[in-house]
Amino acid sequence: MNNSLELINITKRYLHGRIEVLAIDRVSLAMRSGEVLLIMGPSGSGKTTLLSMMGCILKPTSGKIKIDEQVVSGMGEAELPDIRKKYFGFVFQSFNLFPSLTARENIELLLRLKGFRKESIMDESQSLIEKVELSKRADFLPHDLSGGEKQRVAIARALSGDPMIILADEPTANLDSRTGKEILLLLRKNAIEYGKAVAIVSHDPKADAVADRIIHLEDGRIKE
Ligand SMILES: Nc1ncnc2c1ncn2[C@@H]1O[C@H](COP(=O)(O)OP(=O)(O)OP(=O)(O)O)[C@@H](O)[C@H]1O
Ligand SMILES: [Mg+2]
């Protein structure tokens, strides 16, 4: 298995007025393709902060981040959007769909942003819709979809452009327990069938069933 993403001795300090918060404290970890990494820990332990740095949304205060052997932690805002588009798919607790666009249109919008050509967008969105088993609901607006279906749209969107790494922050927090399990299994299927590296932040005790590896964060440190 290859390392897709590597964090080396990452620290994140937030400055909140005069108060400094040490959110992540010297964390090192690697994500490998085909593997589901589960990040657990109490509220405030730094899970979202860690995931945001993994996805190059947030810059570490110190430490190094490598993707595909390329050091990205020193890059600036001019280069980072391309890195995010190329390597990452993001899934959030709150789905983040455009309410006036159907499931299919939500997916197509991201394909357009990722630079897909007009001629290929329809085929590509159809194939993503099939991947997440949403064919029957593809032309529904988010309002008319269940929570689990909305999360499937979000996962399809995250898979657009075939990124190496999928990062999901509490993807089942707004779902009932059965639907949550289906969503976790769908994420796992993607790791295995398409060789993605998947990281899931979750409080959900069911999540450990789909994980290959679990790390526990406590006060910004990985607990052994
Ligand atoms: N923008 C910010 N400015 C200052 N402090 C922040 C900021 N974002 C997060 N923090 C602090 O950093 C710590 C880690 O926050 P983080 O959101 O990563 O935790 P979490 O593990 O995701 O929590 P939860 O399970 O509640 O989502 C917390 O103490 C939080 O208050
Ligand atoms: Mg969080």
pLDDT 10s digit of each residue in the chain, 224 long? 567 899 999 999 999 899 999 999 999 999 999 999 999 999 999 999 999 999 999 999 999 999 988 999 999 999 999 999 999 999 998 999 999 999 999 999 999 999 999 999 999 999 999 999 999 999 999 999 999 999 999 999 999 999 999 999 999 998 999 999 999 999 999 888 999 999 999 988 889 999 999 999 999 999 97
Nearest CA owner, ligand 1 atom 17: 48
- Look at domain 3-223 and name its CATH class: alpha beta
- What ligand 1 atom has the least distance to the C-alpha of 50? 18
As a whole number of angstroms, the distance between CA 200 and CA 36 comes to: 7
**HSE, side-chain direction, 13 A CA sphere, residue 173:** 13
Neighbours of ion ligand 2 (CB under 5 A): 47-48
Query: 176 alpha carbon to ligand 2 midpoint, in Å?
Result: 19
Burial of 114 (0-12, 13-18, 19+ CB in 10 A): middle
Residues lining ligand 1, judged by CB closer than 6 Å?
14, 16, 21, 23, 41, 43-49
Query: 126 alpha carbon to ligand 1 midpoint, in Å?
Result: 37
- Rounded to two decimals, the pTM is 0.94
Query: 39 alpha carbon to ligand 2 midpoint, in Å?
Result: 11
As a whole number of angstroms, the distance between CA 54 and CA 5 comes to: 8
State how far the alpha carbon of 57 is from the alpha carbons of 60, 75, 147, in Å. 10, 12, 25
Q: Give the type of residue at 142.
A: P
